[in-house]
């Protein structure tokens, strides 16, 4: 996608704090599914483009390990749900140094997603769910 084209698209960042639960499920499913077809990526809400009735990842998103991609996607969903960044500006680094920190709870309207998001944000990356599992659960949630 050309840089000029990027300026014509809204990103998921624009939805922060104003998103319906069904949209969050759709973002989770489409992002996980896309990464399964291509490669895991460390995405932020600004990396998720809104294209008509679907969400796509910007071309310049950075490759990541699968556990990191799952964590970043879940953190993005938390932000899109509430408008608040997970663990402030410290993200995963804060969680690594404080492994018993409470995980974020999504807005009441999005509470059905909270258990899944917690599986994605597990401090122990060996216990995080896979992109395949995330895709399947998100598809069911839709």
pLDDT in tens, the chain (142 residues): 434 454 467 999 999 999 999 999 999 999 999 999 999 999 999 999 999 889 999 998 999 999 999 999 999 999 999 998 998 877 788 888 887 888 888 889 999 999 999 999 999 999 999 999 999 999 999 8
Q: How many CB atoms lie within 10 A of CB 102?
A: 7
Looking at residue 96, what is its pLDDT?
85
Query: 3-state class of 91 per DSSP?
Result: helix
Looking at residue 136, what is its pLDDT?
97
Looking at residue 54, what is its pLDDT?
94
Interior/surface letters 2-24, b for 16+ CB within 10 angstroms, e for the rest: eeeeeeeeebbbebbeebebebb
Q: How many CB atoms lie within 10 A of CB 26?
A: 19
Helices (H) and strands (E) in the chain, counts: 6, 5
């Amino acid at each position: 996608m050309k840089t000029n084209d990027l300026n014509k698209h809204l990103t998921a960042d624009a939805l922060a704090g104003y998103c319906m639960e069904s949209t969050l499920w759709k973002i989770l499913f489409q992002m996980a599914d896309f990464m399964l077809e291509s490669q895991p990526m460390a995405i932020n809400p600004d990396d998720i483009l809104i294209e008509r009735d679907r969400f796509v990842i910007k071309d310049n998103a950075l490759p990541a390990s699968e556990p990191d991609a799952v964590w970043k996607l879940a953190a993005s969903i938390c932000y899109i749900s509430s408008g608040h960044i997970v663990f402030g500006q410290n993200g995963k680094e804060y969680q690594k140094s404080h492994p018993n920190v409470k995980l974020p709870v999504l807005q009441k309207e999005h509470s059905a997603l909270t258990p899944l998001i917690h599986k994605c944000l597990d401090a122990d990356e060996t216990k995080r769910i896979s992109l395949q599992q995330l895709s399947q659960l998100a598809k069911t949630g839709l």
